Amino acid sequence: MCGIVGYIGNKKASDILINGLIRLEYRGYDSAGISTIEKNDLSVMKDKGRVKNLYNLDGIDNLSGTIGIAHTRWATHGKPSKENSHPHIDNSKTFSVVHNGIIENYNELRKFLIEKGYTLYSQTDTEVIPNLIHYYYKQDKSSDSLRFLRAVKKACSDLKGSFALEIICKDYPDNMIVTRKDSPLVIGKGEGENYISSDIPAILSFTRNFYLLNDFEFAFLSRNNIEFYDSNLKPIAKSTQSIEWNATSSEKDGYEDFMLKEIYEQPTAIRETIGSKLSEDGKCEFEELNFTKKDLSCINRIYIVACGTAMHAGLVRKDCDRKTL
Ligand code: GLU
């Protein structure tokens, strides 16, 4: 899980993005970052730790761009670090991407990109995405307004797993593309401006009119307009839904309390944490740990350090050990 925010309009994007991230920090707080278009160039500012750390970054106050994307991370691939923070950019610094979800075939895509001459600087699954977009973008020799969208669509067709994506491109300084599959993303419609978020409450103070995207649908945003496309890039019509609830009840997604909400979120939480480690035959694989049989045979005690619900999960494990040893 992580939080993503986006803005395209006439206001200074960085303030809106950081405020939105603060409201989404419950979704992840390993690192945070924003990317804006500044005078036709991409700016990326990110750091490890909480969203408020962004205020300490040199130059953050000087950003004046009115289009941008932002992310607060809950790491799934690669440790919490600055280099693994989102946004991620491609080698040519043309595309900037934030991602919520897991790319299950990222190893395969990494190998493909490295063979094509790309360098990957982080350990995340996400970094393949901007580079794949660039790969398809440079193959497309036409220069019409949909070249950016075609490249994003082709890259998404290669992805297995879950994603909510926001993408900006320095060649399209007045546009943003968003898409999703199995990860949440909503589009808030304003007057001459549009907002993106992982959940409704983070942007409910700006608008009550929302577009919802189905899996594999694309939105091509400009300040005054949003075009929607299906998975074959056929234009589709969408209407807004008006939200009547207040921010607190929408944060609970209709559940009576947060505890009940968390209980119902468990299948998604499990899928997002270990889903990419499960192979089709039901085995759980943690290749990156590089444990040999000999290493495992030397382990005679496991410590589980946890509190809250995780403590109860740990106690269940402890109980199993008593029975099996
Ligand atoms: N899988 C991505 C990462 O580890 C995104 C995680 C998230 O959804 O925060 O960077």
> According to the model, what pLDDT value does residue 249 have?
60
Q: Mean pLDDT over all residues of the chain?
A: 91
Whether 124 lines ligand 1, by a CB cut-off of 6 Å, is: yes
Percent of the chain at pLDDT > 70 equals: 96
Residue linked to tokens 């693994």: 84
pLDDT, tens only, 207-239: 999 999 999 999 999 999 999 999 999 999 999
CA of 83 to the centre of ligand 1 (A): 13
Select the more confidently predicted residue: 25 or 96: 96
Domain ranges of the chain: 3-245
> According to the model, what pLDDT value does residue 125 have?
96
| 69-73, 290-294, 320-324, range with the lowest pLDDT | 320-324
What is the dihedral angle through the alpha carbons of 83, 84, 88, 91, rounded to the nearest 10 degrees?
50
pLDDT, tens only, 64-74: 999 999 999 98
Mutation probe of ligand 1 site: the residue of 71, 126, 198 with most atoms within 8 A of C-beta: 126
Model confidence at 301, in pLDDT bands (50, 70, 90)?
confident
Check whether 244 has a pLDDT greater than 80: no
- The amino acid sitting at 113 is L
> According to the model, what pLDDT value does residue 3 have?
92
Q: What is the average pLDDT across 167-185?
A: 96
Percent of the chain at pLDDT > 90 equals: 67
CA of 30 to the centre of ligand 1 (A): 10
Model confidence at 272, in pLDDT bands (50, 70, 90)?
confident
**Atom in ligand 1 nearest the alpha carbon of residue 3:** 9
Model confidence at 149, in pLDDT bands (50, 70, 90)?
very high
> According to the model, what pLDDT value does residue 165 have?
98
Residues 69-103, buried b or exposed e (16+ Cβ, 10 A)? bbbbbbbbbbeeeeebbbbbbbbeebbbbbbbbbb
> According to the model, what pLDDT value does residue 325 have?
44
**Atom in ligand 1 nearest the alpha carbon of residue 30:** 9
> According to the model, what pLDDT value does residue 246 have?
66
> According to the model, what pLDDT value does residue 247 have?
64
Hey, how many other C-beta atoms are within 10 angstroms of the C-beta on 308?
A: 7
Identify the helix (H) or strand (E) that includes residue 228: strand 226-229
**Atom in ligand 1 nearest the alpha carbon of residue 126:** 2
Check whether 251 has a pLDDT greater than 70: no
Model confidence at 5, in pLDDT bands (50, 70, 90)?
very high
Q: What is the average pLDDT across 49-57?
A: 93
**Atom in ligand 1 nearest the alpha carbon of residue 72:** 9
CATH of domain 3-245: 3.60.20.10
Burial of 195 (0-12, 13-18, 19+ CB in 10 A): buried
CA of 320 to the centre of ligand 1 (A): 32
Check whether 196 has a pLDDT greater than 90: yes
